[in-house]
A and B are shown apart, each in its own frame.
Chain A
């Protein structure tokens, strides 16, 4: 390349890099520095000395592992229900006429714009022992006793699914909408029923969106605090609640920092897993398209 042109290109690259500088400064000071501070804190004992004592204490405690297990149960449970409800919903949206689809979309987005606190307490009113849902169930004779719908795992899961469903549906809907309708028509013309067409055409082609949606659900739900705190009735204690308790009941910042880092590692692991899944899928999808 002409040296003058090359210098030009270099200048341009530098200019574009400099444009991202403000963002880098914000991310650096608002995200990375506090994390570094937490890392330092995790090695500090209450006496102010550096040691790995906090790690030993946290990692050898059964409470940590039961909190991790609860966290994973909640994330996996939320994802499973989101898939069960969200995939048909996205499919319906993608195949609806644009006007109907827009209207449905508005209904899906509405909860997303409501404060999580309002929604969580709303569920409390609906699901409690003499709440609306139980009043209808017992009033109509469907059940004789009010069902335990809240202050337990079920209630927490309901609240979490309600929060996550729109965030799951959006990328899945985007992927399904982009599928050329001719492909499903072609499948039908070759004798594929609806089920077969969904399984062999729609789901594989929207797999990227499904993986993205799943990743969003999983990563968000790993850190959920308000929903289990309000709807779990003290019986559903994921790692976020363990962190809060370590701070407020035990005033142990070192151990809380270790728990925070543990959550961060978990997030990174989940992120990498989904990223790898997406990568594998894209390669596979290209192969399918060329076949």
Chain B
């Protein structure tokens, strides 16, 4: 503990912001799951596909057939538990596991904001978010605290700050700043948005959005922390996320970020929110205002150490791409889990060839026989997908009686408005390679440069 300023970790603060965060986070998750279900996406994304793309090391995580619905029910119920603060610890652990399991089932659906939610849920396992205005604390007086350690609330703020700031850093590249790519492709296609539509055709708008977006991401954490700028910063948060909601199909993420931004405010705002909630649901809020400080016991201390390690990893992980040669946007080695949001317009085409290596007989695969359009799109631009699919094809055609199988791919990828160019070496038998964290030598060079972090 000497490494830290001891007095900071002794500091306590009102628990109200954490309670508000818990309630709204649980609510948002519940709405997200209902929305996901109502669009039929459980069936479409997890049940219909014959094949799912696994994360390296998590190949055992697969969709559960019809039971996948049950998994979503469990996830939704645990979100309700979190919201109410009912059996909070069990609820948040269940939510973390079920939600993360869902995300691990098929990496086709990978989104930074799903990863963000998994991380928030993980952090919340170790926070006393149930000590105020919760079922648990209402029932059990020993769990009831008006004040909690300052660092528990700050760890949520830190996670949010990392997300924004790293997303901002990732935008400091030549495609984004100099070419205004990919917004130059995306914005004009939104011509039918009322009022904004015509604007989005203008070149200066593409640049304004690119530079404005980078500036926003890099500065907003600091503007939210600073008391003087906070209200305006929150206005910017709302404005920014509403705009992204209008322009892009990013679902619930804008709302989740707006709601999360409230945590930066003083507890007076949160008490007002909780007063309103208490009035609506006839909760005796004053019973929670017991003036008690939560003591730092050994369990709390363990949480603190664990979260310190967690944040150290979070700060380093986005830089892991420096360990790989080649252009990050092209190879995507170290691209995920790094807050690289909306940076690329990547389209690809991958034509797989099954070869009998003894006789030389060959034929091409119709990807639609095996993959959904969404899976095919994601597969065609990401080498780890291509490799996994090649192995799957080998297994499939072996079971059909084909022998001496080699799997080759002719593939083309276009990145951020550049002409499409060959992506994977068509001369190599992909099944002779195994997935690993090592560099994939069979990705063809990008032959262009994107300068930046």
Chains A and B are bound partners:
no
